[in-house]
Structure formats: C-alpha cells, structure tokens
C-alpha cells in the first residue's frame, strides 16, 4: 500500500491548478438555459484548447492519455477552484466510454475529436414516457430500411438533458419487434437536425429549460451510425450506465469541494457553539473524504484489471444522498436568507434533488445492490 | 497511489480467519457470557502460538488492521486490541505477553471502562500525563456491559504505589489512536458479520411463499447497510496506513475511521435486527452477540460524536 501521489501526479496537479486558477471563469449563467449554454460552450472550447477538456482520452482524440488517478486529480482541482458545470458531460462521460469500447475506428475518428472540441454536443435518448426506471420497456422503434442501407426510427424520448441545445442524440431503439425487454434493442447515434426530428425543450424544477422531449418520425439513420452490434444495444448501453453511476459522472472532487464550501459557510453563518450544526458539517466532510478514499480503492482495483460492476450502484446512492444532505445543511446555515439565496446553494439544492432520480433512481440502485452485490433473491 | 494490501498481509489475515472460524464459533462467544472470566478456554494460547499476540513487535498497524477486522467478524471475546495493538509494543519486557502467558489490558483516558481487567496480569495505564505500567493493581467491578463477555472495571494501582513510567504524552496519544483504530477495524468486521448473517437468513426465510429477501423493503434496508460498510472501510484502511507511516494527521484519520465504522456498525445492527424479525429478538439466536459487541465497541475508545469533534478541531 502506498497512499501518496507519485511525483508526476503531483506535477500534473500543480499544472492543472495553475492553469485552472488563471482561467476558470466566474459567475457564468446556468448552462441549462439557451443563452447560458452558449457561454459555457466558450469555456468548453477554452478547456479543449488547453487540452483539459478530456484529459483521460488518448492524445489523438484531444486528450492527454491521463491515468484514472490523474483524471481524479484534474477533477479535484477543477472543482476546488469552482470550475463550472460541464455542459458536455453526457457526451464526454457517458457516450465516449461506449464509443471507445464498441465503436469502429471510423466512428471513433469521426465522433470523438468533434465531441472533445465541443463542436458536436451530445444528449442521451434513453428514457421514454413509459420507460423510466423500467428502461427495458423502451417502445421507440427502429425499422430496417434495406434500400437505404440503414434504419428508420420512430417514437418519443424524454427527460433529455440539454436536448434543446445539443446537436446529436445517442439512444436505444427497439430494432426487433419480436424480441422482448432487454433483447432486440439497438444503440443509435442520430443528428438532431435529421429530417423527422422534433425537439421541444421544457422546464426543470428550477425553471431552466434543461429538459427536452424528442419526437422521431421516420428518421433515417445509416448503418454507420449503429454503435455496437444490431439488437445488442442493451449490453452496449450498460457499459455506459456503469460509467454514469460510477465515478466518471460525479467524481469525488465535486463533493470534497462542496464540503469545503460548507465549512466556509458555517464559519460565516453559524453560531460557533452550535454543536449540532458543527457535527453535521464534520459528518458531511468525512463522508466526502470517504467517497474519495473509496474511489482510490476502486481505481487501484481497476488498474489491477478488475471490472467495475454493480458496486457502482453503491457509489451512485452515496454521492447523490450526500449531495442532498450537504445542500440541506447549507440552507439551514443560511436560515431565512436561504429563500432568496443567490450564492448558488438554493440553485444547487434543486439540482441536488435530481441526483437520487437521474442515472437510475436510488430505489433501483438499492435493488441492484441487494441482488448483485449482496446476492439476495430477485423474486 | 496503490490502495491495496500485499499478499503477505492478506495471507496473515486468512490464517487468522481460518483459526477463528474453527475455534471461535458463536457457541464459544456465548460461553464467554456466562463463564467465570468472560474469555475463551484455549483461543488466547492458539493466538499466541500463531504469533498474533506479539505481532505488533514486528509488524505495522497496517499489517494488523485486517487481523483486527477478522477478530471483530468472529466477535472474539478476548482483549485482542488492548493487548496486541496497544499494550505489547509498550511493554519493557514483552516476551511473555507475546506468547500469551500473560494478558495485558489498557486503562487509557478516553477508552471508557477497562475491559477484561478481571483477568489481566498487567495494565498499561495512560493519560496526557504519560503512560505507566501497572503490575500491582486493583480492579473495581463496574455494572455489566451490554455485551456479557466484556467484564468491565476500573483500575487503580496498589501496593508499592504508582507504576513504572513507560511513555510520555506522545506515547499516550499514539497508544490511544492504536486502540481506536483496532476497534474501528473490529467494527468493520462486526458489520460484515451481521450483514452476512442477515443475507443468509432473509434468503432462506419464506413468507407469502417467497424468501423475505426478495421484498424491496428488506432489500433496501440491507443495501443501506452495505453502502455504510463500503464507505467506512476505506477510511479504516487509510487510517491504518497513516498510523504506520506516522503521518502527522494520523489522529484525524483514525477519528474519521472510528466515527464511520461505529456508525456503520450501529446502522447495520438495527437493519439486521429488523430484517430478522422476531427471531433476531430472541436471546437464543446468535445475532445479539454481534449486535451487542457492536454497540459496546461503537461507544468505547471514543464514540462517533467524540471522534467527529476531534476531526472538527483539525478542519473547521
């Protein structure tokens, strides 16, 4: 065991810190509004220009070939200095790992560099009005078009984060009408400006137009935009969910940074003799550290060749519940000012409340933990 | 960053686990509740033969953390942490303690009552004033522990007066941290045991024609316990590493570990009892042996609030 960072990791941290401290923009508007999204894209392109957009990717696709540990270090530094939300996250963190694993060389070369440069902006088309937690109940169809050399997609996707501002959608469609549930699905990559596509943004809890529903009416997709094998989309998609629930989407650096801000807020706002608030802040900080060290343990296992499996469900429940707890505590520290807080805590609270819902509800995650980690009977 | 144990560390753990699986079934733990001394008949000698009792003379806190975790898993009714982690490294003449010929216990400020004092041969007593070795002492019996195998007392020196000074304030603080760390590791083991017992029970117990473990309400209780274990354990291993490396923040890391491990064990005890239903509430069933050890150890060596308060002094 060696819990120190290697000299080259420390050097990488110092390099990230210096650049981020000099360049991270302050006070950006929400990236979940049309105008704000544009502002965030400028930041994403600045990150790309300095090769910080996708540090863990190979250099030929715009990254630095950073190790998992270096990526975690980058995330710690990014959120430590208060770096903005990543409006490109659904592409770079959810789709990209799947493209690296299942994509053809042609797909990698075509998709990844433009994704890294924030030229193509990807949103996720999985959920449907009648397929949420029961994702395998997807009804949107893909019908074979042999003459055109591709597929024709029809149906409706919803809860598509930032769909109204993105350029492309990755999604699951039922390609074999005879097959049921997890079988007979195919993973497609679709431009949102393709004929037959209609995208309608709508408001989230906080009022921002961060959601969209996407209607597909006989949209043609060529065979070259199928990711992985036809009818094998479920298995392809599950590789992405592991990334989403696990450490890539919400790395520990976000939560250690929030915990540090909470300590500051307590210093400014709390009666120093209030031991209950004091204990709650220390608990939040300790939990964030626990996530950090659990992640280092996990990364060590992965670097020894182990696959991340159902354990990622534990991670997802832990960080999402922790995020809600930390924001509740912040609002308590703000007292009556919480109502009109514009320092980010009230906004952050509303976003934190989505954590136990998105990426598979925490109820579904607990089922997964019980069945696949503990081995309890499914039925 | 290499957050993993070595093959040697894992092999030592496995050897101890095999011994305890053979020699410390729940019947042995239960016997310690009612026998004269609250301990086992033979396990102390076996642990001495295996080299566990004197292991800290050669090995680090990190080498031993998994051994303490296993001793928690089997709820070993012996003063393993007090003797192995805290006392033996401080004894001027540790040979007989290392073989198990004598038992050393601890009376350090902050640990709570002295456990196993009734059968101790020597006591390592300490406070910020320093650490001393008591060879002549009296034990005043305290009210029973919730865990019937932990015979509690208070220790005072007797005979020729005070004991032999064997350490200063820094030695005391390090000794206390070793006790808290070993106890945190035992709480991790206890958490694992209660989870294992409950998973086995709810997989086997049928109601409404199906295993009760197939119901989501039961699954979610146990998922929460498993999550608490998942995020407490790395803090314990990290604290063990910090102690071994004499990291200046090791005390803070130990406190994070003890608080998280105690909370995880208490949560798991409650979930385990609920998921067992009435059988878990019966005295004849073994679950309570582990629950009560968990309650006792979560409170001993500084409870979660005490340790968080110590963390707070470093970070707030």
Looking up residue B246, the CATH number of its domain turns out to be: 1.20.140.10
Catalytic residue, candidates A77, A213, A244, A311: A244
Q: Which residues contact A54 (CB under 8 A, 6 or more apart)?
A: A48, A61, A62, A63, A92, A96, A116
Which of A2, A363, A370 faces B2 most closely, judged by CB atoms? A2
Domain A7-87 bears CATH identifier 1.10.540.10:
yes
Is the Cα dihedral B178, B184, B190, B196 positive or negative?
negative
Please give the pLDDT value at position A103: 97
Q: What's the pLDDT at A315?
A: 95
The CATH superfamily of A246-373 is: Butyryl-CoA Dehydrogenase, subunit A, domain 3 (1.20.140.10)
DSSP-derived letter for residue B153 is: E
Indicate the class that CATH gives domain A122-233. mainly beta
Task: Determine what percent of chain A is predicted with pLDDT higher than 70.
Answer: 98
The answer to whether the beta carbons of residues B72 and B53 sit under 8 Å apart is: no
- The residue-averaged pLDDT of A34-46 equals 97
Q: What is the pLDDT of residue A306?
A: 86
Residue B105: DSSP 8-state: E
Averaged pLDDT, B6-28: 98
Contact B234 A297 (CB under 8 A): yes
At B159 the pLDDT is 66
Whether B125 maps to a domain, the answer reads: no
The SS3 assignment for A239 reads: helix
What are A112-166's pLDDT values in tens digits? Answer: 999 999 999 999 999 999 999 999 999 999 999 999 999 999 999 999 999 999 9
Note the pLDDT tens digit of each residue in A353-376. 999 999 899 999 999 999 999 999
Residue B54 lies in a domain: no
In a domain, B30, yes or no: no
In a domain? residue B219: yes
pLDDT tens digits, A55-108: 999 999 999 999 999 999 999 999 999 999 999 999 999 999 999 999 999 999
What are the boundaries of each domain within chain A? 7-87, 122-233, 246-373
> What residues make up the domain containing B241?
170-315
Instruction: Look at residue A50 and give its three-state secondary structure.
Output: coil
ipTM attached to this prediction: 0.96
CB B269 within 8 A of CB B291: yes
Distance in Å from the first CA to the final CA of chain A? 41
Q: Do the Cβ atoms of B239 and B254 come closer than 8 Å? A: yes
| pLDDT averaged over every residue in chain A | 95
Cα A83–Cα A89–Cα A92 angle in degrees, nearest 5: 115
- Provide the 10 A C-beta neighbour count for residue A136: 12
Question: What's the length of chain B?
Answer: 316
Specify the 3-state DSSP secondary structure of B156: strand
Task: Give which of B228, B259, B264, B229 is closest to A279, Cα–Cα.
Answer: B259
Q: pLDDT grade, residue B160 (50/70/90)?
A: low
Provide mean pLDDT across the span B45-61.
97
Residue A157 β-bridge partners: A214
Helix (H, G, I), strand (E, B) or coil at B126: strand
- Report d(CA B190, CA B71) in Å as an integer: 9
Closest C-alpha to B179, from B234, B278, B132, B112: B112
Contacts of B209 in chain A (CB under 8 A): none
Q: What confidence score (pLDDT) does residue B13 get?
A: 98
Give residue A244's pLDDT band: very low, low, confident or very high (50, 70, 90).
Answer: low
Q: What is the domain count for chain B? A: 1
Taken in order A262, A267, A270, A272, the sign of the CA dihedral is: positive
Q: Which residues of chain B approach chain A closer than 8 Å at the C-beta?
A: 1-6, 62, 195, 199, 202-203, 210-211, 213-214, 216, 218-220, 222-224, 226-227, 230-235, 237-238, 241-242, 245, 256, 259-260, 305, 308-309, 311-312, 315-316
- A262 contacts chain B (CB < 8 A): no
Let me know if residue B290 belongs to a domain: yes
Cβ B57 vs Cβ B89: under 8 Å:
yes
Q: Is B159 exposed, middle or buried (0-12, 13-18, 19+ CB in 10 A)?
A: exposed
3 state SS of A373: helix
In the predicted structure, residue B154 carries a pLDDT above the cut 80: yes
How much is the pLDDT for A188?
98
Confidence (pLDDT) at B218: 98
Shortest Cα–Cα distance, A288 to chain B (Å): 10
User: Nearest 5°: CA angle at B257, between B256 and B258?
Assistant: 95
B14-29: average pLDDT: 98
Average pLDDT, whole number, for chain B? 97
A117: left (phi over 0), alpha (psi -120 to 50) or beta: alpha
Q: Are B205 and B212 in contact (CB under 8 A)?
A: yes
- The CA distance from B152 to the nearest CA of chain A, in Å, is 29
pLDDT digits (tens, 9 = 90+) for A285-332: 999 999 999 999 999 998 898 887 899 999 999 999 999 999 999 999
> Which residue in the set A289, A299, A377 is minimally distant from B213, CB to CB?
A377
Q: Are A330 and A262 contacting, i.e. CB atoms less than 8 angstroms apart?
A: yes
């Amino acid at each position: 065991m060696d819990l120190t960072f290697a000299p080259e990791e420390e050097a990488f941290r110092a390099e990230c810190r210096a650049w981020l401290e000099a360049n991270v923009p302050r006070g950006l508007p929400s990236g979940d509004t049309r105008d704000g999204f544009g502002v965030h894209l400028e930041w994403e392109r600045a990150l790309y220009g300095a090769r910080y957009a996708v540090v863990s990717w190979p250099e030929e696709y715009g990254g630095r070939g950073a190790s998992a540990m270096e990526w975690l270090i980058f995330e710690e530094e990014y959120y430590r200095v208060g770096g903005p939300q990543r409006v490109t996250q659904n592409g770079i963190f959810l789709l990209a790992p799947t493209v690296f694993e299942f994509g053809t060389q042609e797909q990698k070369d075509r998709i990844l560099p433009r994704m890294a440069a924030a030229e193509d902006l990807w949103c996720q088309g999985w959920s449907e009005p009648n397929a949420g937690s029961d994702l395998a109940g997807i009804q949107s169809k893909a019908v074979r078009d042999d003459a055109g050399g591709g597929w024709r997609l029809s149906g409706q996707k919803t809860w598509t984060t930032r769909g109204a501002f993105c350029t492309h959608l990755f999604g699951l469609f039922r390609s074999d009408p005879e097959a049921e549930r997890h079988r007979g699905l195919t993973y497609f990559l679709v431009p949102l400006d393709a004929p037959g596509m209609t995208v309608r943004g709508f408001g989230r809890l906080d009022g921002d137009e961060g959601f969209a529903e996407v209607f597909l009416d006989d949209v043609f997709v060529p065979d070259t935009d199928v990711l992985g094998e036809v009818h094998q989309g479920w298995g392809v998609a599950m590789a992405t969910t592991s990334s989403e629930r696990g450490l890539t989407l919400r790395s520990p650096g976000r939560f250690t940074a929030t915990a540090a801000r909470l300590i500051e807020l307590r210093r400014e706002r709390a009666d120093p003799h209030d031991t209950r608030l004091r204990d709650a802040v220390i608990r939040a900080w300790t939990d964030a550290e626990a996530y950090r060290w659990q992640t280092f343990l996990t990364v060590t296992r992965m670097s020894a060749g182990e696959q991340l499996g159902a354990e990622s469900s534990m991670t997802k429940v832990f960080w999402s519940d922790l995020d809600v707890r930390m924001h509740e505590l912040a609002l308590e520290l703000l007292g009556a000012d919480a109502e009109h807080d514009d320092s980010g805590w009230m906004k952050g609270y509303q976003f934190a409340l989505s954590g136990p819902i998105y990426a598979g509800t925490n109820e579904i995650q607990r089922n997964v933990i019980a069945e696949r980690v503990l081995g309890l009977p499914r039925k | 960053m290499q957050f993993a144990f070595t093959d040697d560390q894992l092999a030592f753990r496995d050897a101890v686990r095999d011994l305890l699986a053979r020699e410390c079934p729940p019947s042995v733990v239960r016997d310690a509740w009612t026998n004269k001394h609250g301990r086992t008949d033979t396990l102390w000698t076996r642990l001495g033969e295996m080299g566990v009792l004197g292991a800290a003379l050669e090995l680090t806190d990190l080498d031993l953390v998994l051994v303490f975790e296993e001793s928690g898993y089997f709820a070993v009714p012996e003063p393993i942490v007090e003797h192995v982690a805290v006392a033996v490294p401080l004894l001027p003449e540790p040979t007989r303690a290392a073989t198990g010929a004598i038992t050393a216990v601890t009376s350090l400020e902050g640990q709570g009552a002295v456990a196993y004092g009734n059968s101790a041969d020597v006591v390592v007593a300490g406070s910020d004033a320093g650490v001393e070795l008591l060879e002549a002492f009296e034990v005043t019996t305290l009210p029973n522990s919730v865990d019937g195998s932990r015979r509690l007392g208070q220790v005072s020196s007797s005979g020729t007066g005070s004991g032999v000074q064997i350490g200063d304030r820094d030695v005391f603080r390090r000794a206390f941290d070793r006790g808290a760390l070993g106890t945190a590791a035992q709480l991790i083991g206890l958490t694992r045991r209660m989870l294992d017992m409950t998973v086995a029970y709810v997989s086997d117990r049928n109601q409404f024609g199906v295993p009760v473990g197939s119901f989501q309400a039961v699954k979610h209780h146990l998922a929460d316990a498993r999550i608490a274990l998942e995020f407490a354990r790395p803090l314990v291993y990290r604290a063990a590493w910090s102690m071994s490396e004499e990291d200046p923040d090791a005390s803070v890391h130990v406190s994070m570990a003890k608080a998280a491990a105690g909370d995880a064990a208490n949560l798991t005890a409650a979930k385990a009892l609920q998921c067992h239903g009435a059988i878990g509430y019966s005295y004849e069933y073994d679950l309570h042996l582990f629950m009560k050890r968990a309650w006792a150890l979560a409170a001993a060596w500084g409870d979660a609030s005490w340790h968080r308060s110590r963390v707070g002094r470093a970070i707030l």
